[in-house]
Amino acid sequence: MTRAVVLLLFGVLLCALAGCGERAQVVVFKQGVYQGKPDTPPYQNPPFNGDRAAWERTLATRAQLQNEYKRTHRNGNG
Amino acid sequence: MARMKFLCDAERCIECNGCVTACKQEHDVPWGVNRRRVVTINDGVPGERSISVACMHCSDAPCMAVCPVDCFYHTEAGVVLHDKDRCIGCGYCFYACPFGAPQFPQIGVFGMRGKMDKCTFCSGGPEKDNSREEFTKYGRNRLAEGKLPACAEMCSTKALLAGDGDIISGIYRERVTIRAARGTRSGPPWGWDSAYGAAQPAVAGGK
């Protein structure tokens, strides 16, 4: 019982001491350098799994679908 | 790969606002925030022109230059994104942007400005790709799925082009050349004079 009380008091004391800690409350800015969270490249995750070339090929093919001159020609309509 | 860019063909845009709707729907954009909008010049006057405008993902982005907390970054593909956890909603980027791209959702009854929101070129933000956190903060990450921005892919007249700058400028160049060859549009592209003076561009020649 006494041991439990001592442990409890010790815990309370630790918590109280934690409040005395002095940590910087503001971030240190480096002018002109991105300060946010890091981002992963879009080809990092499935379905490309890090294959940048495949991702670029897919986007290039998809971008060409915006060219209806090629789309109509490919479909045999002129 | 070059840089990801938008290009709006003013000869084709019919002000249908399909791009605006596609963007709103794709990213579940809140009321009052317009990541994309259609601007019409000389509305109702013969010869009016419309262009679809959003963040142009500038190579030397003014928003990035003025941000006091440096929350903007360029991706490898040249897309300008920002970290909403770091954004303080000051609105400096809104003053700096020549396109009015940064948007500020109204939070609360007093209309306080929230974190800045803008077009992400459908490439999410600094969260795990295609995660719930990314969707909630930035919208869907279509680029990570191998797709192009929804606004351009939904454009019915293909006025709005999106993708690798080299590819979409090639598509546009082909259009201008074909128009000139067919005689449907003999002059320079709309806006050419404003941008480059009255000199004629080299659009002659066929396919």
As a whole number of angstroms, the distance between CA B122 and CA B23 comes to: 9
In a domain, B16, yes or no: yes
Given a cut of 90, is residue B107 above it in pLDDT? no
pTM of the model: 0.82
Residue A23, min C-alpha distance to chain B (Å): 19
CB contact under 8 A, A36 and B85: yes
Q: Percent of chain A having pLDDT more than 90?
A: 41
Exposed/middle/buried for residue A60 (C-beta within 10 Å: 0-12, 13-18, 19+): middle
In a domain, B21, yes or no: yes
In a domain, B161, yes or no: no
What is the CA angle B140-B100-B50, rounded to 5? 90
Residues of B in contact with A43 (CB under 8 A): 144
Q: How many domains does chain B have?
A: 1
In a domain, B48, yes or no: yes
Given a cut of 80, is residue B47 above it in pLDDT? yes
Nearest CB to B126 within list A37, A55, A62: A37
Pairing of strands B49-53, B4-8: unpaired
In a domain, B30, yes or no: yes
Query: Which residues in chain B belong to E strands, given as ranges?
Result: 4-8, 37-41, 49-53, 72-74, 80-82, 106-107, 112-113, 160-164
CB contact under 8 A, A43 and B144: yes
In a domain, B189, yes or no: no
Q: If you measure CA to CA, which chain B residue comes closest to A43?
A: B144
* Helical ranges in chain B per DSSP H: 18-27, 62-66, 92-96, 132-138, 150-154, 165-182, 192-196
In a domain, B171, yes or no: no
In a domain, B128, yes or no: yes
**What is residue A35's three-state secondary structure?**
coil
Tokens of B88: 């303080």
Closest CA to B134 of A39, A52, A50: A39
Nearest CB to B146 within list A29, A37, A48: A48
Per-residue pLDDT, averaged over B20-49, amounts to 93
Residues of A in contact with B116 (CB under 8 A): none
- Selected residue of A26, A30, A31, A39 to mutate for chain B interface (largest B Cβ count, 10 A): A39
Residue B200, min C-alpha distance to chain A (Å): 25
Per-residue pLDDT, averaged over B65-86, amounts to 93
> What count of residues does chain A have?
78
User: How many other C-beta atoms can be found within 10 angstroms of the C-beta atom of residue B199?
Assistant: 9
**β-bridge partners, B103:** B117
Residues of B in contact with A30 (CB under 8 A): 70
Give residue-wise pLDDT tens across range B150-190.
999 999 999 999 999 999 999 999 998 888 888 776 677 77
pLDDT, residue B206, reads 45
Residue B56, min C-alpha distance to chain A (Å): 17
Nearest CB to B148 within list A29, A35, A63: A63
Given a cut of 80, is residue B13 above it in pLDDT? yes
The range of the structural domain enclosing residue B16 comes to: 4-58+121-154
Mean pLDDT over the full length of chain A: 83
Per-residue pLDDT, averaged over B10-36, amounts to 94
pLDDT, residue B194, reads 78
Given a cut of 70, is residue A31 above it in pLDDT? no
The domain that holds B141 is classified in CATH as 3.30.70.20
